[in-house]
Amino acid sequence: MSKEAYGLLIDYEYCSGCQSCEVTCKETHNYPVGKWGIRVLEEGPWEIEDGTGVFDYNYVPVPTDLCDLCIARTSKGREPACVHHCLANVITYGPIVELAEKMTQKSKQVLWFPQYKPLTAKGKFVPTKKSNSEGVGGAKVEVEANESWSTAAHRRSDDDHFEMGLVE
Amino acid sequence: MEEMKAAPVVKLDTLSDVNDIGKPWRYEEDGLTVTRLSPWSAPGCHPTGCGLKIYTDGEDRVVKVEGDENHPVTQGRLCVRCLTLMDYMYNPSRIIYPMKRDPEKRGDADAWERCTWDEAVAIIKENYDRITKQYGRESCVCFTGTGREGGTFNPYGSVMLGTPNYCYTQSGYACYIPRLAASSYIIGSAYPEIDYACALPGRFDDPAYELPECLIMWGKMPLSSNGDGLFGHAVIDMMRRGTRLIMVDPRMNWLASRADIHLRLRAGTDTALAMAMLSVIINEGLYDAEYVEYWCYGFDELKARLNDPEKGMTAAKAAEICGIPEEKIVEASRMYAQAKPACISWGLAIDQKANGMQAGQCILDLMAITGNVDVPGGNVLGDVTSGLNEVGFGFEKGVGDLVSEMIGLAEYPAYCNLIMNAHADLMLQTLETGEPYPIKFGMYCGNNLMSCTSAEPKRWHDAILKSLEFCFTIDTFMTPSAQASCDVFLPLAASAEREGTTFTHYGASMGIKGFSQAATRTGEALTDAEACFKLGKALNPQWWTDYDTVEDFINHLRLSNKFKFREVAPAVYVQDEVTYRKNECGKLRADGKVGFNTPTGRIELYSTIFQQFDDDPLPYYDEPQYSPANTPELLKDYPFVLTTGARPYAFFHSENRQIPFCRELNPDPIVEVNPKTAKKLGIADGQWCEIWNQFGSCKQKAKLTETVDENTIHCQHAWWFPEEDGSEPNLYGNWRSNVNNLVPNFHFGKLGFGAPFKCLLCNIKPIDECLDTDMDEVWTKFKREDQ
């Protein structure tokens, strides 16, 4: 992995689901209603062991395909807007290799390596022409016309055969 | 307030090294002007004073809003309500010029006409002079809310209108003030807030600080509400450092999932639980005997009461009442008592029941007998100079002897005299009957009572329309209340357009004093201080001779003339001086002697003041008026416990519904139903339902979630739909999803406090209609021009 690869480390033990990341992202990027650069997903609540009153309940912020890691901010040395405004202070921005090391120090964390508009990033389809076109088409053999053509969907067998559409 | 020095900054570890720490209150950056301020959100919120940086361009238009990393507590963090401030300020539906309407055309959304400030003031003055001449100044009422600029703005009532009838219109003042009253009467201090090191220069690492080992979160969800000025996410900062939680809440919310013990009590039974915890701690000898001996009064009486077979409480008895296993109550009591230090964060749920004063009393007793009052990491107090920063301001001058005419003062002095407010329920009665005298002139100042504050909102609507000859408001947006009943609408400045202060916790505990100087202005909108000054000079100039400018008024109202606003405001955030254990050094009493500011000089476990007001001096448990235990005969029709008003992040009460990015987080009014209950009733996730009881009904959209148990229904509060037709009778759909339709007035306790907003009964059924909000419509109607 490139040392220049940056990501977001999220401590979801303490993500309270406040959605400040979602809204500051929309304000920063001017994304309208219905479009998001990050979303907070809700998981739970459900009881881990029935009757104990101990519940599983987690919020996990997930960067979308419109997350550009706030390139306009980070190129000036600032942290992304979601990091700055996160009420629970659970988002850390940095080189992924450093974040991965940090991730080993505490449980309930998730590390994201977002990709802004991944299809665009892949670029337009361009045929590579890497394959050797010779030989791909097969042997050079003359083929004759087919007088006994039939519907291929009707598989023939010797003892049980009828032709659909020809039954009177 | 000895000095006004900018608070030192404590940088968050996630903040980049390229940041704005140490920048002045105003500076230039990349061709933009940046103004740092400490406001109360859009207009309304709690007094948290979160740090903001407002970026304005050459035309003084706000182009960016960011959290200010210089704030010692918020450190750059911001919630969605401030992050969308631009969408609020430049919302196409915001009102930025004064408007008038023929009183005959109240309720007609198309009948408003733009006018000048001079004309608006002249109309108000003409009506004020005519009405007060005929009926007296007591015929005026100010409907007030949570506050939006430094406080609830008492001078509107006292020195502007000269009326004793300033009135928060929620039944039994069921928000904050019952807790404040219990504190004032029992501890002699306004409000014991948990110690989150907000006023310590080094914050959590300050040498004077000790991290609480245990925090009880009692009927409060501060993460979304920032209730009473406590920056809720400070609790997460503490949990990360090792504080362990006990949660007392009927709802299994996110914070409860992080608690060591969750006491998931039946809504409204808090006093039984609190008495049981006192009982366990006292009978097991887990209390701080030395502290009790020196600093508490009436311990033996309290112990006797708790052990009284009839009026007392045991863990076993509470277990049955509250529906929690007995061993969990015992375990929680031991955990809290043995932790050193420990603190209790108590919330709105305490206020929202007739028996709430006793719940508050018990919680204060819990803090006291464990020796956790005003110690590092415990519940800390303000000193003798703090208190609600403006209660009573201008009363002597503007109200004088008329104070005796205050509605409810004779019947409920423990309420009215404490907060200098007319009693909410008795005001409703007065509006309806004209007794003891007619109320003819009204003003809303930070209140949208028909959507949010008041129980039986249609009843308030009818009473106001029947009684008031004239009514006006000052606000940022049209509200259902103003649309129904106002004749003049004055435009209010938003937070970035204000000059003023925000003192955390209303100034009632050690905290931060925040200052804001306007970053910009919009249209002809004025701040509350400016409007009050302008109208005061016009209506009652004799009380305004001391003030030549609005700033003179602010200096007096907010800074007691000890400082000049313009000189201290550049500090932006100033921390109070912290002294712990003020009872040991005479800082709690006017006479400077050691002890607490109560008649006995001690924390009164046996309250001589409750006794003086004819309430029981010791705690007792009363069932909610309508509950499975108290009214089993009603369960046939209303089989579920109804609790209301849990706070979402998207809204502050009835505000922000027209802010697209807030609304998008919570487009529809949500009723929480347990999946098992829903299955039984045939309710699908996302299906609209009708919720009703003996007082009324409303429609909300079901969210199936185990947040509520099978016997409990939770409804969101304060819903209206600004995208809809505003004219009567629709009034922006105000009555359709309004859960206050189901809440009665006149169900308060002996001292006049409390209302059952969080403990009623109801029934629920699925309906065929789909009433989903069309977010495209909200976006098209309310987005900014440049979006």
In a domain, A73, yes or no: yes
Q: What distance, in Å, lies between the first and last C-alpha atoms of chain B?
A: 44
Length of chain A: 168
CB neighbours of B395 closer than 8 A, spacing ≥ 6? B154, B158, B403, B420
Quick one: B307 and B393 in the same domain?
no
Portion 645-664 of B in contact with A at CB < 8 A:
649-650, 660-662, 664
| Chain B residue with minimum CA distance to A24 | B83
Residue A135 has pLDDT above 90, yes or no: no
Quick one: B598 and B667 in the same domain?
no
In a domain, B755, yes or no: yes
Q: What is the CATH number of the domain that holds B254?
A: 3.40.228.10
Contact A84 B776 (CB under 8 A): no
In a domain, B621, yes or no: no
Distance CA B312, CA B494 (A): 51
The torsion region of residue B779 among left (phi > 0), alpha (psi -120 to 50) and beta comes to alpha
Quick one: B67 and B110 in the same domain?
no
Residues of B in contact with A26 (CB under 8 A): 661
Q: Is A57 on the interface with B (CB under 8 A)?
A: yes
Distance CA B49, CA B56 (A): 20
CA R_g for chain B? 25
What mean pLDDT comes out for the span A133-137? 60
B77, B328, B707: best mutation site toward chain A, by most A Cβ within 10 Å? B77
| Chain B residue with minimum CA distance to A16 | B254
Distance CA B143, CA B446 (A): 8
Q: What is the CATH number of the domain that holds A63?
A: 3.30.70.20
Q: Is B426 helix (H, G, I), strand (E, B) or coil?
A: helix
Q: Taking each helix axis as running N to C, give the angle between helix B326-338 and helix B315-322, from 0 to 180 degrees, rounded to the nearest 10.
A: 120
Q: How confident is the model at residue A145 (pLDDT cuts 50, 70, 90)?
A: confident
Phi and psi dihedrals of B162, rounded to 5? Answer: 65, 35
- A141 or B356: which carries more pLDDT confidence? B356
In a domain, A165, yes or no: no
Q: How confident is the model at residue A163 (pLDDT cuts 50, 70, 90)?
A: low
Portion 278-337 of B in contact with A at CB < 8 A:
328
Residues of B in contact with A78 (CB under 8 A): 16, 18-19
- pLDDT tens for residues A73-129? 999 999 999 999 999 999 999 999 999 999 999 999 999 999 999 999 999 998 887
Q: What is the CATH number of the domain that holds B166?
A: 3.40.50.740
In a domain, B40, yes or no: yes
Nearest chain A CA: its distance from B640 CA (Å): 20
Distance CA A39, CA A60 (A): 8
Q: How confident is the model at residue A168 (pLDDT cuts 50, 70, 90)?
A: very low
Contacts 24+ apart (CB under 8 A), B107-114: B107/B483, B107/B484, B107/B727, B107/B728, B107/B729, B107/B731, B108/B727, B108/B728, B109/B478, B109/B483, B109/B725, B109/B726, B109/B727, B110/B727, B112/B489
In a domain, A144, yes or no: no
The pLDDT score that the predictor gives to residue A161 is 53
CB neighbours of B221 closer than 8 A, spacing ≥ 6? B227, B232, B249, B253, B255, B347, B646, B647
In a domain, B179, yes or no: no
Q: Tell me the pairing of strands B342-346 and B640-644.
A: unpaired
The pLDDT score that the predictor gives to residue A167 is 44
In a domain, A155, yes or no: no
The torsion region of residue B754 among left (phi > 0), alpha (psi -120 to 50) and beta comes to left
Nearest chain B CA: its distance from A84 CA (Å): 6
Q: Is A16 on the interface with B (CB under 8 A)?
A: yes
Q: Is B257 on the interface with A (CB under 8 A)?
A: yes
Contact B14 A93 (CB under 8 A): yes
Nearest Cβ partner of B16 from A14, A56, A79?
Answer: A79
CA–CA distance from B728 to each of B482, B485, B732 (Å)? 12, 10, 9
Q: Tell me the pairing of strands B140-144 and B441-445.
A: parallel
Contacts 24+ apart (CB under 8 A), B411-417: B411/B752, B412/B751, B412/B752, B413/B613, B414/B181, B414/B185, B414/B609, B414/B613, B414/B615, B414/B751, B414/B752, B414/B753, B415/B173, B415/B177, B415/B181, B415/B751, B415/B752, B415/B753, B416/B752
Q: What DSSP state is assigned to residue B505?
A: G
The pLDDT score that the predictor gives to residue A158 is 59
The pLDDT score that the predictor gives to residue B151 is 85
| Chain B residue with minimum CA distance to A31 | B787
Q: Is B750 on the interface with A (CB under 8 A)?
A: no
Residue A159 has pLDDT above 70, yes or no: no
Contact A14 B240 (CB under 8 A): yes
The pLDDT score that the predictor gives to residue A137 is 65
Q: Which residue in B363, B344, B179 sits closest to B276, CA to CA?
A: B363
Residue A165 has pLDDT above 60, yes or no: no
Residues of A in contact with B255 (CB under 8 A): 16
Which alpha helices (H) appear in B352-494, and where do they start and end?
A: 356-369, 413-419, 424-433, 457-467, 480-485
Q: Is A123 on the interface with B (CB under 8 A)?
A: no
In a domain, A55, yes or no: yes
In a domain, B627, yes or no: no
Quick one: B313 and B251 in the same domain?
yes
Contact A33 B783 (CB under 8 A): yes
Contact A84 B15 (CB under 8 A): yes
The CA-based angle B453-B454-B457, given to 5 degrees, is: 125
Q: Is B51 on the interface with A (CB under 8 A)?
A: no
B10, B11, B15, B16: best mutation site toward chain A, by most A Cβ within 10 Å? B16
In a domain, B550, yes or no: no
A44: domain range?
A: 6-119
Quick one: B58 and B122 in the same domain?
no
Nearest chain A CA: its distance from B151 CA (Å): 25
> How many separate domains does chain B show?
4
Sheet holding B62-67, edge to edge: B26-29, B32-37, B52-56, B62-67
Q: What is the CATH number of the domain that holds B68?
A: 3.30.200
Complex-level ipTM:
0.97
Quick one: B479 and B508 in the same domain?
no
Name the residue with tokens 């992304």: A80
Contact B706 A79 (CB under 8 A): no
Q: What are the DSSP calls for A44-85, one per residue?
A: EEEESSTTS--EEEEEEEEE-TT--TTHHHHTTTPPPHHHHH
Quick one: B639 and B770 in the same domain?
yes
B651: domain range?
A: 632-782
Q: What distance, in Å, lies between the first and last C-alpha atoms of chain A?
A: 69
Quick one: B324 and B370 in the same domain?
yes
Quick one: B289 and B395 in the same domain?
no
Distance CA B764, CA B692 (A): 6
The pLDDT score that the predictor gives to residue A2 is 64
Burial of B1 (0-12, 13-18, 19+ CB in 10 A): middle
Contact B15 A19 (CB under 8 A): no
| Chain B residue with minimum CA distance to A92 | B14
> How many separate domains does chain A show?
1
CA R_g for chain A? 28
**Do B715 and B673 meet the contact criterion of CB atoms below 8 Å apart?**
no
**Mean pLDDT by groups of 10 residues along chain B of 787 residues:** 83 97 98 95 88 97 98 98 97 98 98 98 98 98 90 94 97 95 95 96 98 98 94 98 98 97 98 98 98 98 98 98 98 98 97 97 98 98 81 93 97 96 98 98 97 97 98 98 98 95 90 95 97 98 98 95 95 96 96 96 98 97 98 98 97 97 98 98 98 98 98 98 98 98 98 97 98 98 96
Portion 76-95 of A in contact with B at CB < 8 A:
76-79, 81, 83-89, 91-93
Nearest chain B CA: its distance from A85 CA (Å): 4
In a domain, B185, yes or no: no
Contact B18 A84 (CB under 8 A): no
CA–CA distance from B598 to each of B293, B386, B587, B602, B766 (Å)? 16, 15, 13, 6, 53
Quick one: B211 and B122 in the same domain?
no
Q: Which residue in B475, B444, B421 sits closest to B171, CA to CA?
A: B421
Distance CA B666, CA B14 (A): 29
Distance CA B88, CA B656 (A): 8
Q: What is the pTM of this model?
A: 0.95
In a domain, B566, yes or no: yes
In a domain, A167, yes or no: no
Nearest chain A CA: its distance from B543 CA (Å): 44
